[in-house]
Amino acid sequence: MARFDDRVALVTGGGSGIGRAISRRLATDGAKVAVADITGDGADETVALVEEAGGTAISVPCDVTVLDDCTNAVATIDREWGRLDFAVANAGIVGFGGVDDVEDEDFNEVLDVDLYGVFRTAKAALPLIKRSGGGALVFMSSVEGLVGSSFLPAYCAAKTGLLGFCRSFAHEAGPYGIRVNCVNPGFTKSPMTEPLGMDDYWIERTPLGRIGQTEDVAGVVAFLCSDDADFVTGQWLAVDGGLTSIR
């Protein structure tokens, strides 16, 4: 048996990048995966890739800035499979600019997706995971939530806020057999980072001497969902090639 046989997962932002890699990894390990994304075409492409590899997945439309969308996504999972074991809150955006340049609406837009969107995902998923007998939630933070960078004020604030939310929610969810953890990727090759063209910069600053791949992050998420992490909750884990060990 694959380690996630008979388990069901929700992955937000599953239509590309890290979310796609997570969806594929969980499905490879046997889980049925609901790929949630604001972009339907991207989610459909991920589902097709999962199915081509012999896995099971469905596409679920979801804008994490809308609680009803998150609730409806979980309701679809309930109708389709009758349970939910893992929720990976991965959907995110990034906004650049100094504090003197960023408008309130731009700052709030990043928080709405990267922080409040995780809260909405967790809120929507919690009842069904409880009913399923427990499970795991994984929040996608960032190394920017650990050390911070210039010209990313909203992104750093949101990703740091997830660490506090994770610790608080882990206490609330623990009695129900639900574990809550954060993953903090470093610079990772994905559609979000590719336009930046900063590979050489990050390679020079990363002890392992390479750019992170989406599969690197997906493997850690799979670990945190698995029984191997059965006594791990309220924690964060950097997947950064050692970047934050020297910053």
Cα 201 to Cα 51: distance, rounded to the nearest angstrom? 37
Q: Which amino acid is at 136?
A: A
For the chain, the domains span 8-245
Cα 20 to Cα 23: distance, rounded to the nearest angstrom? 5
How does pLDDT run along the chain (247 residues), one tens digit per residue?
689 999 999 999 999 999 999 999 999 999 999 999 998 899 999 999 999 999 999 999 999 999 999 999 999 999 999 999 999 999 999 988 889 889 999 999 999 999 999 999 999 999 999 999 999 999 999 999 999 888 899 999 999 999 999 999 999 999 999 999 999 999 898 877 776 777 888 899 899 999 999 999 999 999 999 999 999 999 999 999 999 997 5
- DSSP 8-state secondary structure symbol assigned to residue 195: G
Pairing mode, if any, of strands 56-61 and 32-37? parallel
What would the two tokens of residue 121 be?
């995902």
Is 155 in the active site? yes
Catalytic residue among 116, 155, 176, 201: 155
Per-residue confidence (pLDDT) for residue 1, from 0 to 100: 65
Cα 45 to Cα 103: distance, rounded to the nearest angstrom? 35
Q: What are phi and psi of 35, to 5 degrees?
A: -90, 105
Q: What are phi and psi of 41, to 5 degrees?
A: -60, -40
SS3 170: helix
Cα 22 to Cα 190: distance, rounded to the nearest angstrom? 13
Per-residue confidence (pLDDT) for residue 247, from 0 to 100: 55
Per-residue confidence (pLDDT) for residue 199, from 0 to 100: 82
What residues contact residue 113 under an 8 Å CB cut-off, 6+ apart?
A: 64, 65, 91, 92, 93, 158
Superfamily of chain region 8-245: NAD(P)-binding Rossmann-like Domain (3.40.50.720)
Hey, CA dihedral for 46, 220, 115, 106, is it positive or negative?
negative
